[in-house]
């Protein structure tokens, strides 16, 4: 874009303040350096221009904007941590925080940690994770269903997309895959209780 004002406040290629000069002179200075004259503050009186490599300037600007978008996206992922034997009060608190995060538009990573011998009863962990999905199904949906990662179970929840009329579309949730129970519930509970006693 052509600079149409008769004079500009010029900044040199090294960042030095040259001062107010005629636009023609500023252009000649830029051409003598094989660089461009770029208007960086058009609303100033007179406008501020700088001698620079415009192509390099645009590249670095786009690089900064891309990095900023990636950072903004990364900060939108929140995290909730659970254990298979989580108490009801603690569970409700975690779910309340999760709902707050989702309501604010964040993606939420839910991680369930196994401690000690708890990992022998992974089905309990999957039951907890599926309970979370059911308890927030009105506002959230699973972007990634619960899956075992090492000794932990992970899943990703995202805000539920709205259907016509602005209402959240909430189909019945699908249960996540889970390993076959190694024993009936009562022996499992006994095994967990025994593990807790052993660890103390």
Residue 25 lies in a domain: yes
Placement of tokens 């461009």 in the chain: 36
pLDDT reading at 104 higher than 80: yes
pLDDT reading at 28 higher than 50: yes
Q: What is the pLDDT of residue 65?
A: 86
For position 19, which CATH number holds? 3.10.20.80
**Phi and psi angles of residue 140, each rounded to the nearest 5 degrees, phi first:** -135, 160
Number of domains in the chain: 2
Say if residue 82 is in the same domain as residue 177: yes
* Residues 6 or more apart in contact with residue 11 via CB below 8 angstroms: 17, 18, 40, 48, 49, 50, 51
CA 40 to chain centre: 32
Residue 39 lies in a domain: yes
Residue 195 lies in a domain: no
Say if residue 101 is in the same domain as residue 43: no
For position 163, which CATH number holds? 3.30.110.10
Instruction: Place 192 in a pLDDT band, splitting at 50, 70 and 90.
Output: low
What is the C-alpha separation between 92 and 75, in angstroms, rounded?
A: 24
Residue 194 lies in a domain: no
* Residues 6 or more apart in contact with residue 49 via CB below 8 angstroms: 3, 8, 9, 10, 11, 26, 37, 38, 39, 40
Q: Is-cis flag, bond preceding 19, omega within 30?
A: no
Say if residue 175 is in the same domain as residue 84: yes
Residue 188 lies in a domain: no
Residue 119 lies in a domain: yes
Say if residue 50 is in the same domain as residue 78: no
* Residues 6 or more apart in contact with residue 156 via CB below 8 angstroms: 107, 108, 109, 110, 142, 143, 144
Q: What residues make up the domain containing 26?
A: 1-54
Residue 62 lies in a domain: no
Instruction: Place 170 in a pLDDT band, splitting at 50, 70 and 90.
Output: very low
- The two most distant CA atoms of the chain are separated, in Å, by 89
Residue 65 lies in a domain: no
Say if residue 35 is in the same domain as residue 95: no
Instruction: Place 187 in a pLDDT band, splitting at 50, 70 and 90.
Output: low
pTM of whole model > 0.75?
no
The percent of residues in the chain predicted with pLDDT above 90, rounded, is 55
Q: Mind listing the pLDDT tens digit for each residue in 54-71? A: 999 899 889 888 877 766
Say if residue 85 is in the same domain as residue 177: yes
Say if residue 81 is in the same domain as residue 154: yes
């Amino acid at each position: 874009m052509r600079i149409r004002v008769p004079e500009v406040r010029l900044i040199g290629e090294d960042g030095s303040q040259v001062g107010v000069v005629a636009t023609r002179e500023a252009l000649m200075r830029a051409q003598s350096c094989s660089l461009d004259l770029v208007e960086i503050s058009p609303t100033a009186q007179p406008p501020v221009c700088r001698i620079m490599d415009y192509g390099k300037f645009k590249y670095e600007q786009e690089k900064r904007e891309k990095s900023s978008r990636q950072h903004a996206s990364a900060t939108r992922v929140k995290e909730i941590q659970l254990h298979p034997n989580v108490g009801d009060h603690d569970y409700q608190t975690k779910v309340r925080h999760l709902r707050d995060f989702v309501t604010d538009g964040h993606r939420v990573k839910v991680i369930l940690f196994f401690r000690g011998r708890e990992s022998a009863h992974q089905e309990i962990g999957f039951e907890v994770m599926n309970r979370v999905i059911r308890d927030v199904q009105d506002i959230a949906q699973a972007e990634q269903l619960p899956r075992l990662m090492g000794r932990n179970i992970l899943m990703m929840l995202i805000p539920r997309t709205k259907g016509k009329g602005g209402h959240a579309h909430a189909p019945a949730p699908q249960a996540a895959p889970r390993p076959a129970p190694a024993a009936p519930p009562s022996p499992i509970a006994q095994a967990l209780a025994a593990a807790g006693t052993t660890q103390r």
